Amino acid sequence: MEVINLTHLDEQISRKPHIMAIGFFDGVHLGHQELLNQAKELARKQNVLFSVMTFSPHPNEVLKGDKNHKYLMTLPEKIKKMEAMGVDKLFVMKFDRTFASLLPADFIQKYIVNSKTKHVFVGFDFTFGFKARGNTQLLQKESRKIGFGLTVIPKKTYLQEKISSTLIRSLVQEGNVDLVPYYLGANYEAAAQIIEYKINGHLAVRPSEKSIFPKPGTYLVKVKQGTKILHGKFHQYSNSRTDNVLKLNESVHEFDDACSIEFLSRIQVSESLSV
Q: Which helix (H) or strand (E) holds 153?
A: strand 149-153
**Are 202 and 99 members of one domain?**
no
* Conformation bin of residue 144: beta by default, left when phi > 0, alpha when psi is -120 to 50: alpha
**What is the number of domains present in the chain?**
2
**Are 86 and 12 members of one domain?**
yes
Work out the average pLDDT over 157-161: 92
String of b and e for 149-180 (b: at least 16 CB within 10 Å)? ebebbeebeeeeeebbbebbbebbeebbbbbb
Which CATH number is 249's domain given?
A: 2.40.30.30
**How much is the pLDDT for 194?**
82
> Is 166 part of a structural domain of the chain?
no
**Are 9 and 88 members of one domain?**
yes
Work out the average pLDDT over 67-74: 91
**Are 143 and 231 members of one domain?**
no
**Are 147 and 183 members of one domain?**
no
Distance CA 43, CA 48 (A): 5
174-213 pLDDT tens trace:
999 999 999 999 999 998 888 776 656 678 888 888 899 9
Greatest mean pLDDT range, 8-12, 34-38, 156-160: 34-38
> Is 160 part of a structural domain of the chain?
no
DSSP 8-state class, residue 57: S
Q: Is the pLDDT of residue 274 over 50?
A: no
Which CATH number is 111's domain given?
A: 3.40.50.620
**Are 233 and 135 members of one domain?**
no
> Is 146 part of a structural domain of the chain?
yes
Give this prediction's pTM: 0.90
**Are 184 and 254 members of one domain?**
yes
Distance CA 93, CA 103 (A): 16
**Are 29 and 133 members of one domain?**
yes
**Are 215 and 86 members of one domain?**
no
**Are 222 and 183 members of one domain?**
yes
Distance CA 96, CA 10 (A): 14
**Are 10 and 141 members of one domain?**
yes
Question: Domain of 61?
Answer: 2-155
245-269 pLDDT tens trace:
888 887 666 667 788 999 999 997 6
| Range from 92-101, 110-119, 123-132, 261-270 carrying the lowest mean pLDDT | 261-270
- At 215, give phi and psi (nearest 5°): -65, 165
